[in-house]
A and B are shown apart, each in its own frame.
Chain A
Amino acid sequence: MMLLAGTVPLKDLPLTMGTVGLEDGFLLVDGLPIPCTQGTGAMVGAALAATGYLKLDPPQALVAGDTGQGGGSRAIYEYLIENVARLSPEVLTLHYCLPDMSLTRRVCEAIEKCPRRPVMIADAASMYAAKAAGLARAFDIFTPDATEIAFLADAEATHPAYIARHLFDTDIAQTPVLVDIAYESRSAAKVLLAKGSIDYVVVDGSIVATVTEPDVPALEAIGGTGDTITGLVSAFVYCGLELHEAAIIAARTNRTAGQLAQATPATKVREVVKYFPEVFKEHLCQWSGVCSIDPEG
C-alpha cells in the first residue's frame, strides 16, 4: 500500500481514509471529492496519474479538512499513531499538516512498530516538523524547494519563516553548500530532491544528479507544482524504483509536463497534471526502464 497523508482545505471534511479515484475530473478519496489544487490534492492527483499509467494499485489517502486551525492535522497524526503499525504501508508520504514536533515524534515511534518499515517521504509542513524535531534521519526522502533547503541548513530555525537572512539570500547555484550544511547538522533525509531552476538529487550528502531541462521558470510560481513532484516520487518509489531514480524521473516529468502545458505564472496545477500521462507515454520507458507493469506480479 502507498499511503498519502495530509490535510485538505475543506472545513467540514472529516477524517477520511480510503482509495483515491477520479470521476468526471474530480479527485475522490473513499468516494468523497477533494480539490485537485495546491497542497495534498495536487500530490494525490499526481500519484494517481502515475499509478494509473503503471497499472499499480491506486494510492490510499488519509485526509482531513483543515484550514489552518490544526484540528484536521491532529486527527491525521492521531490516526497514524494508532493505526500505522496495522496498516504497514510500503510507502508513507506525509504532507500538509500543522507542524507539531511532539506528534511527529509519536508518529515516528509508531512507525517503528510496523512489521516492515515503510519508505518515509515528507514534504511541506510535515518536513518542517520532522526537521525541527530532529527526526530528519528517520525519513528516506524530503522534497524541499530552494527556501526550504535554506531552512534545513539553518540549525536554529523551526519554520522557514525564521531562516537566517544570509541563507535566504543564497543563490540557487549555492544549493550544494546548503545541502552540505543540512547533512552535517543531520537535518536532511537520506535522499533530497531540492527543487529549483536546477533540481538537485542528493543521496546521503552527495549530489548524484541535477535536472535542468526543460527549463520552465514559471513552474515556481504555480501553486502545487512542488506537491505534484512529491506525489510522483511517491508513486515511482512504490513501483520499485530506487529512491534517487524516482526523484530524477519525478523532476523530469514535472518539467516536461510544464513545457507541454506551455506554463505561465497564471497556469493552474491541474493543467500541468493532465499532461502527465502523455509524458509517461513518451518518456517513462526510456527514462526508467519501467515500460509496463504486470499487475499479477
Chain B
Amino acid sequence: MRNLLPILTVLVVLVGLWWAAVAPMNIRPALDTAERAGAQVIPEGSVPRRDISVWRLMRDNRDHVALGYDLKRPRLPTPTQVGQELWKTTGAMVMKGRTWSKRSLIYHSWITLRSTLWGFALGTTLGILGAVAIVYSRVADMSLMPWAIISQTIPIVALAPMIIVVSNQVGIEGRGVPKAIISAYLCYFPVLVSMVKGLRSPSASQLDLLKTYNASGRQSFWVLRLPASVPYLFAAIKIGIAAALVGTIVGELPTGAISGLGARILIGDQFGTPLAIWSALFAAAILAGALVTVTDGVQRLTLKRMGFRA
C-alpha cells in the first residue's frame, strides 16, 4: 500500500496531463468535423486555420473544443478511447472466443512475447558465456570486450533489415529467428558487462582461501565465482528483458512483419489509425511491466533462498 500511493499519484498526474493535451492536439480535426456538419467556425476553411495557433483556435471556438474528445480518428486519443480500444482488442475478443484472431492484441502480444523470450534466452546465454571467456582468458578480454562495446553503438534499426535479409538468405523461414537475434543483440550486452563484474567480484582472500584447499579452476568457478555473480546477473537480467522486448518490437518495425506489436504500430501509422498505435503501445508497456515484475519476483525469491540480505 505504501508503495502503491506514489505510483498512483504519478499515474493520475500523467493521465491528467494527457487529458489536457487532447484539446489542443485535436482542435484542428475537431473544427474540420464541426464545419463539415454545418456549424459556424472561426475562421472558416481548414487552410486559413493552418496559420493560426491552436490556442487561438480554442479561444475562438470554445463550443467545439469538446468535440476533440470524441473524434473517430483523433490526432491524440483520450485515455478512455485508448482504454476502450484496448478492451475491444483484448477482453472483448476473448469473450467472443476470438482470442487468437489476427485483430486481437493478445495474439500480437504473444507473437512479440515469444520472440522476446527466445531473444532473451539467446542473449543471456551469450552474455554469460562471453563473460566467462573474458574473465578466464586474457585474449578474450582484449579482443571480445572492445567489439562488444562497438556493437552497441550501431543503431539496431539500421541492423535489423540486414539481419532479416541475411537470415532469409541462409534459408531461415519466417521472422521468428531473425527477430530473436535482433532482440538478443540488444539484451546480451548488459548481461555480459554485469557478469564480467560479477565473476570478478570475489576478493583476493576469497580466492586465496580456495588456493589453500588446492581447489581446481573448475571448482572455484562453481563454488565461488558463479554464486558470487548471481546478484549482478539479476540486475542485468532486469535491464536485459526490457531491452529484449524493445529489440523484438524494433525487429518488427522495418521488416514488413504483419504480426506482433511492432507490426501493429507500423500498420496503425500507415493506415492513419492512431487508436491502433496507442493500444499497441500500451500493450507493449503492460507486457514490459509484467516481464520486469516477474524477473523481480524471481530475483527476490532466488536471492532470499541463497541467503543474500535483500
A binds B: no
Mark B residues whose CB is within 8 Å of A. none
